């Protein structure tokens, strides 16, 4: 900019600051082109703000390929005036995939780790959920992953009439509240841990879920469907930012 405009670096910096321009920064986005965007937003937001009486709303998804990373040197603990420190290099010791369900009313999480993420694992996790929440209708919010819509899953739904799927719009997985919990898990446990093998990683995840449920609070959705759609219509997209 200095060379093209013939201005001094100080002048360029001042102009950028006055106009709140930050050309060195970028943010990613993903447009939702789902033809059923409006219907799906209204459906999912309605479950959050006004859940069906006598039913439970569960937000379900899988966090795949969680790596068991072992640092090349021991982590240095936090000290007064110093943050905990980890080496930048590490050794990969395998992966696991976590299927999890967030109960919106309580904030409690049910989770299960599997070595793979296919429709077989998804069905096994659904089986755990119907056993964990017997008799009551279950409204499940989930995304459009191919493992969620296989013929095997559709046949399972036909046999379990009290389970109802509600899909988030394509490219709008942020509407699934379990994604917020996955972020908490990653920040507070996965990234901070050191795991010599997958079994240690799984044990740490299970311990984290147990502790989290002891202090769980409901996840509160604050925006109406009209507010979400108003933003979508302004941009012609779902307005998603990551």
> Which CATH number is 78's domain given?
3.30.420.10
Indicate whether 7 belongs to any domain.
no
Indicate whether 202 belongs to any domain.
yes
| Residue-level pLDDT at 76 | 67
Indicate whether 24 belongs to any domain.
no
Indicate whether 2 belongs to any domain.
no
Q: What is the mean predicted confidence (pLDDT) over 92-97?
A: 92
| Residue-level pLDDT at 139 | 98
Give the tens place of pLDDT for each residue, 12-69. Answer: 888 888 888 887 776 654 556 778 888 999 999 999 999 999 999 999 999 999 999 8
Which tokens in the block code for residue 150? 């296989």
Give the tens place of pLDDT for each residue, 112-162. Answer: 999 999 999 999 999 999 999 999 999 999 998 899 999 999 999 999 999
| Residue-level pLDDT at 232 | 62
Indicate whether 137 belongs to any domain.
yes
Taking the C-alpha atoms of residue 228 and residue 237, their distance in angstroms, rounded to an integer, is 10
Of 70-79, 142-151, 193-202, least confident by mean pLDDT is 70-79
At residue 98, does pLDDT exceed 90?
yes
At residue 236, does pLDDT exceed 50?
no
Taking the C-alpha atoms of residue 208 and residue 191, their distance in angstroms, rounded to an integer, is 13
| Residue-level pLDDT at 240 | 40
| Residue-level pLDDT at 32 | 66
Which tokens in the block code for residue 35? 């033809």
At residue 201, does pLDDT exceed 80?
yes
At residue 227, does pLDDT exceed 50?
yes
Indicate whether 4 belongs to any domain.
no
Number of domains in the chain: 1
- In angstroms, the Cα distances linking 17 to 4, 10, 136, 154 are 19, 10, 57, 55
Determine the length of the chain. 242
Q: What is the mean predicted confidence (pLDDT) over 68-80?
A: 76
| Segments forming the whole domain that contains residue 223 | 34-241
Indicate whether 230 belongs to any domain.
yes
- Over the chain, what is the mean pLDDT? 87
Indicate whether 10 belongs to any domain.
no
């Amino acid at each position: 900019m200095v060379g093209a405009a013939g201005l001094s670096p100080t002048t360029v910096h001042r102009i950028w600051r006055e106009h709140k321009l930050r050309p060195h920064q970028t943010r990613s986005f993903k447009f939702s082109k789902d033809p059923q965007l409006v219907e799906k937003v209204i459906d999912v937001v309605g479950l959050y703000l006004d859940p069906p009486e006598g039913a439970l709303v569960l937000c379900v998804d899988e966090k795949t390929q969680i790596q068991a990373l072992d640092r090349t040197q021991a982590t240095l603990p936090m000290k007064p005036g110093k943050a905990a420190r980890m080496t930048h290099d590490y050794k990969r010791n395998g992966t696991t995939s976590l299927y999890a369900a967030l109960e919106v009313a309580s904030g409690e999480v049910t989770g299960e780790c599997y070595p793979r993420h296919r429709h077989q694992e998804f069905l096994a996790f659904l089986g755990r959920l119907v056993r964990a929440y017997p008799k009551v209708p279950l409204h499940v919010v989930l995304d459009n992953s191919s493992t969620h819509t296989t013929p095997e899953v559709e046949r399972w739904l036909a046999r379990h009439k009290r389970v109802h799927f509600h899909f988030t719009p394509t490219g709008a997985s942020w509407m699934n509240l379990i994604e917020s919990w996955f972020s908490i898990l990653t920040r507070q446990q996965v990234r901070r841990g050191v795991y010599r093998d997958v079994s240690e990683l799984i044990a740490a995840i299970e311990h984290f879920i147990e502790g989290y449920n002891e202090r769980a609070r409901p996840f509160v959705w604050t925006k109406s469907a009209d507010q979400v759609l108003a933003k979508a219509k302004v941009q012609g997209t779902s307005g998603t930012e990551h």
